[in-house]
Structure 1
Amino acid sequence: MSETFDDETVEFDEGEELVSDRIADLVEYLVVNIVDDADGVSLEVIDGASSSTIEVTVAEGDVAKVIGRHGRTIKAIRTLARALAARLDTSVEVEVMG
């Protein structure tokens, strides 16, 4: 299976990593390209029985960039993450920590 992001194709080998990790890779790719301090980005994946939560921690000065005006940026990130999760038959929530 492969996904294409900004002319870059990412290959996924079935069964090699958790589905939630694949979604976390997408979220990390998006967030790292939005913030000023890419080294300050970290993700924690919490797998539950029926869904996963991805907690994104960014530098204090980058929280506003990730959330965006009226929450539009984080809403778009969540929409993309949920779309990929739906393709992989799971559900996911994305939370931003400052």
Structure 2
Amino acid sequence: MTSLIETIVKPLVDYPADVKVEEQEDERQVTYILTVHQEDVGKVIGKQGRVAKAIRTVVNAAASQQGKKVYVKIQE
């Protein structure tokens, strides 16, 4: 799943080498923490959060078979 998030995000940003995805898993949920360069945060979030929502939708669709709730957090 981390590779899916990286594949989606890297073409969107100016600093693709700074894209990092960290996974934290509990018994009920999986949280992916997406870290990007400070200047790229706006590009990943998008106007009114549309890009971030689209990323979360794709990740949730891909993870729907796991049976756990999936969250994507964006940090700089």
Normalising by structure 2, we get a TM-score of 0.93
Higher share in helix: 2
In structure 2, the partner of 1:59 is: 37
Kindly, what percent of the aligned residue pairs are identical?
36
Q: Report the Cα distance in structure 2 between the residues aligned to 1:73 and 1:87, rounded to whole angstroms.
A: 23
4+ long deviations beyond 2 Å: 87-91
Give 5+ residue unaligned stretches, structure 2: none
In structure 2, the partner of 1:84 is: 62
After superposition, give the CA deviation of every residue in 1:10-59 in whole Å (9 maximum; x if it has no partner).
xxxxxxxxxxxxx2211111011111100011111001111100000000
Query: Secondary structure at 2:24's aligned position in 1?
Result: strand
Does residue 72 (structure 1) correspond to residue 50 (structure 2)? The answer is yes
Correspondences of 1:39-58 after superposition (within 5 Å): 39-58=17-36
Q: Report the Cα distance in structure 2 between the residues aligned to 1:59 and 1:86, rounded to whole angstroms.
A: 29
Q: How many residues end up aligned between the 2 structures? A: 76
Normalising by structure 1, we get a TM-score of 0.73
Give 5+ residue unaligned stretches, structure 1: 1-22
Q: Report the Cα distance in structure 1 between the residues aligned to 2:2 and 2:28, rounded to whole angstroms.
A: 16
Task: Identify the structure with bigger relative contact order (alpha carbons < 8 Å, sequence gap 6+).
Answer: 2
